[in-house]
Amino acid sequence: MDGEAVSVVAEASQEVADSAAVGVASTVAAPPGVGNCMNASRFLRHLFFTRWTTRRRFTPRVLADIEAAIRETESLHAGEIRFVVETALDLPELLQDLPPRQRAMQVFGHLGVWDTVHNNGVLIYLLLADRIVEVVADRGIAARIAQSEWDDVCHEMQRHYREGRFAEGSVAGVRGVGRLLSRHFPGKLGDADELPNQPVLL
């Protein structure tokens, strides 16, 4: 990342702290050592995992399916969903052995998922090189939904991803989060769409 991007993330991280966002993760498909002390296999995996590989799995058609699922589910609840796929960590982050959850929190802040009127933003974050899914929910949501329910969503996504079904897994994750939001935050006619629906590739 360049210096400007780092400064934006640092500023956004403070907003995340103020917002008391909570990250919930599934690590079922994660290689040993992820999020602990840095190991050579993780370092090399991130260095050689390419954005071309990500775009081969997340084609324009897959991204369109994810966007459509977000738009569809947000018509049924008052929450806001962002979907991010990151290919791999940059070298400075690898040298720090940045855990996927912490990176997801940074992305949550950087994309302004915290910036909603009712603190009801949710980030679905996939770090492909580590094969880890993280869900980060803002305080308005996290306090009302059990961690086990977030974990179930992550597990379902992981099952699809292990079989190479990236469209199905991603849409299932969006709909799973949507079901949880619909239960606790039903939508009202005329609810504003506060965050973009387009998925982001990093």
The secondary structure of the chain, three-state, reads CCHHHHHHHHHHHHHHHHHCCEEEEECCCCCCCCCCCCCHHHHHHHHHCCHHHHHHHCCHHHHHHHHHHHHHHHCCECCEEEEEEECCCCHHHHHCCCCHHHHHHHHHHHCCCCCCCCCCEEEEEEEHHHCEEEEEECHHHHCCCCHHHHHHHHHHHHHHHHCCCHHHHHHHHHHHHHHHHHHHCECCCCCCCCCCCCCEEC
pLDDT at 65: 97
Fold of 3-201: Diaminopimelate Epimerase; Chain A, domain 1 (3.10.310)
Q: What is the pTM of this model?
A: 0.79
Phi/psi at 2 (5° precision): -85, 170
Domain ranges of the chain: 3-201
3-state secondary structure of 127: strand
The per-residue pLDDT for range 157-188, each reduced to its tens digit, is 999 999 999 999 999 999 999 999 998 888 76
Section 187-202 average pLDDT: 80
**Better-scored residue on pLDDT, 144 or 68:** 68
